[in-house]
């Protein structure tokens, strides 16, 4: 019995000959998910974990007894036993850590939002290009079954041209100390929109209010696209209910994505409105169409697993990354514009 299992183990080891060895910086809310996934993925290993908090390191050590721990990211980043650095820390630290990692020749997996400024993002992209390294920004949702399916339906033309994208992402907490609710929650929606919508956003208007800790905890963002497509995001840390719902209005079919619905995450409505010119007093006649509803089955694999697998594959085979630095930059550009508009109480900011 014991022999059989040992054998299996040594096989596994030999398969791991060309694994990517990760140094993980940050073991707070999201870090444990990164470590858990990297530990389980065949082509990856966690070589080292770093966090400033003793408490965090202790939690990690209980869950992964053999794991090498440190409280100094520089050592980890400089270590020759590390091929790639996963940065799972607050956004204001991303730029320094990622720069350091790239300059030490490490690939970078970094939490969203990519950086605090457009300038930082551009610099990191340049660095990665220079050293021929990969950057992946953790836009996890882009790897969910639901978002993949939406993209597929849009690409196939099933929905026809898009009219609007209207997302609500509200719940109670978690209040961030260093960023407002836009920088915390909107990157999810902006990266999903960036993935699903082909057209490039043209301008942004944002409004909001701060109530408790000096950062906006309630905010509303309008994004203007070409051809009358409009997007709207409602993000809120102060909601008594958790809502994760996106409506996509379109010409041929309409779609509702409720990420909290375990049975029907996506619903495609055979509903629509048509306007015909008519010789009557109004000149226009509106007709409504209301047909079946279809809830396509959505893959339920953990998105982060797929995402990290994709990162490994893109490194190993030098493939382009969907959610690369450029995608990350695009989101930071929109966040910067939203901040600028927010400061002027909704005045439009062109991208």
Query: Which 36-75 residues touch a second copy, going by CB under 8 A?
Result: 54, 57-58, 61, 65-66, 69-71
At 139, is the secondary structure helix, strand, or coil?
coil
Q: Which of 141, 148, 41, 139 is nearest to 84 (CA)?
A: 41
Contact 44, 22 (CB under 8 A): yes
The CB-of-99 to a second copy minimum distance in angstroms stands at: 23
Binding region for a second copy (CB under 8 A) out of 15-23, 131-139, 286-294, 306-314: 286-294
Determine which residue in the list 103, 123, 166, 302 makes contact with a second copy, applying CB under 8 A. Answer: 166
- Residue with smaller CB distance to a second copy, 30 or 294: 294
Shortest Å, Cβ 105 to a second copy: 26
- Interaction between residue 205 and a second copy (CB under 8 A): yes
Residue 71 CB neighbour total at 10 angstroms: 13
Q: How far is the CB of 237 from a second copy (least distance, A)?
A: 8
- Determine the interface stretch with a second copy among 22-30, 220-228, 312-320, 332-340 (rule: CB under 8 A): 220-228
Is 27 a binding residue for a second copy by CB under 8 A? The answer is: no
* Helix, coil or strand: residue 320: coil
Tell me the β-bridge partners of 20.
Answer: 44
Closest approach, Cβ 267 to a second copy, in A, equals 8
Site for a second copy in 170-189 (CB under 8 A): 170, 172-173, 175, 177
294 CB-contact burial (10 Å; exposed 0-12 / middle 13-18 / buried 19+)? middle
Token look-up 């057209």 returns: 199
Burial of 110 (0-12, 13-18, 19+ CB in 10 A): buried
CB nearer a second copy, residue 158 or residue 326: 158
Restricting to residues 291-350, which ones interact with a second copy according to CB under 8 A? Answer: 291-297, 341, 344-348
Is 284 one of the binding residues for a second copy (CB under 8 A)? Answer: yes
Q: Which is nearer to a second copy, 122 or 346 (CB)?
A: 346
CB of 271 to a second copy, least distance (A): 5
Residue 234's CB is within 10 A of a number of other CB atoms, namely 19
Minimum CB separation from a second copy for residue 97, in Å? 18
Exactly one of 36, 151, 244, 271 binds a second copy (CB under 8 A); that residue is 271
Report d(CA 338, CA 147) in Å as an integer. 23
Strand partners, 109: 86, 136
Write the DSSP assignment of 10-38 as a string of letters. HHHHHHGGGPEEEEEE--SSSHHHHHHHH
Contact with a second copy (CB under 8 A): which of 8, 11, 74, 316?
8
Residue 150 parent element (H or E):
helix 145-155
Kindly state the DSSP code that residue 41 receives in the 8-state scheme. S
Each residue 231-260 as x (binds a second copy by CB under 8 A) or -, in order, gives -x-x-xxxxxx-----x-x----xxx----
Shorter beta-carbon distance to a second copy: residue 2 or 132 = 2
Which residues in the 84-143 window bind a second copy by CB under 8 A?
A: none
Give the binding range for a second copy (CB under 8 A) out of 103-111, 182-190, 208-216, 307-315. Answer: 208-216
Instruction: Report the alpha-carbon distance of residue 215 to residue 180 in Å, rounded.
Output: 5
Helical pair 325-343 and 181-196, crossing angle rounded to 10 deg: 130
Would you count residue 212 as binding a second copy (CB under 8 A)? yes
Helix (H, G, I), strand (E, B) or coil at 180: coil
Give yes or no for a contact between 225 and 197, defined as CB atoms under 8 angstroms apart: yes
Of positions 228, 301, 316, 343, contacts a second copy by CB under 8 A: 228
For helices 31-40 and 303-316, angle between their N-to-C axes, nearest 10 degrees? 60
Among 33, 45, 93, 207, binds a second copy (CB under 8 A): 207
CB of 125 to a second copy, least distance (A): 30
């Amino acid at each position: 019995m014991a022999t059989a299992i040992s054998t299996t183990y040594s096989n596994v080891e030999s398969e791991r000959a060309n694994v990517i060895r990760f140094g993980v910086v940050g073991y707070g809310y999201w870090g444990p998910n990164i470590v858990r996934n990297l530990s389980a993925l065949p082509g990856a290993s966690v070589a080292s974990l770093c966090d400033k908090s003793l408490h965090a390191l202790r939690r990690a050590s209980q869950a992964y007894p053999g794991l090498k721990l440190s409280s100094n990211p520089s050592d980890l980043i400089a270590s020759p036993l590390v091929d790639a650095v996963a940065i799972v820390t607050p956004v204001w630290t991303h730029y320094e850590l990622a720069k350091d990692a790239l300059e030490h020749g490490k690939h970078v997996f970094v939490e969203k939002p990519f950086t605090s400024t457009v300038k930082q993002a551009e610099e990191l992209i340049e660095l990665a290009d220079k050293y021929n390294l990969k950057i992946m920004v953790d836009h996890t949702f882009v790897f969910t079954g639901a978002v993949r399916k939406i993209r597929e339906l849009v690409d196939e033309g099933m929905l026809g041209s898009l009219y609007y994208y209207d997302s609500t992402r509200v719940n109670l907490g978690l209040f961030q100390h260093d960023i407002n609710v836009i920088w915390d929650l909107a990157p999810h929606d902006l990266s999903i929109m960036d993935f699903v919508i082909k057209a490039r956003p043209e301008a942004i208007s944002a409004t909001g209010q701060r109530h408790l800790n000096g950062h906006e905890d309630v905010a509303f963002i309008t994004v203007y696209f070409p051809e009358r497509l409009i997007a709207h995001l409602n993000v809120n840390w102060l909601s008594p209910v958790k809502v994760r719902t996106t409506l996509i209005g379109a010409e041929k079919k309409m779609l509702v994505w409720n990420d909290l619905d375990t049975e029907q995450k996506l619903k495609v409505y055979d509903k629509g409105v048509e306007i015909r010119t008519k010789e009557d007093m109004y000149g226009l006649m509106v007709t409504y169409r209301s047909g079946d509803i279809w809830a396509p089955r959505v893959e339920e694999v953990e998105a982060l697993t797929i995402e990290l697998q994709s990162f490994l594959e893109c490194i190993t085979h030098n493939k382009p990354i969907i959610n690369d630095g450029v995608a990350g930059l695009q989101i930071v550009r929109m966040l910067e514009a939203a901040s600028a508009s927010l400061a002027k109480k909704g005045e439009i900011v062109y991208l």
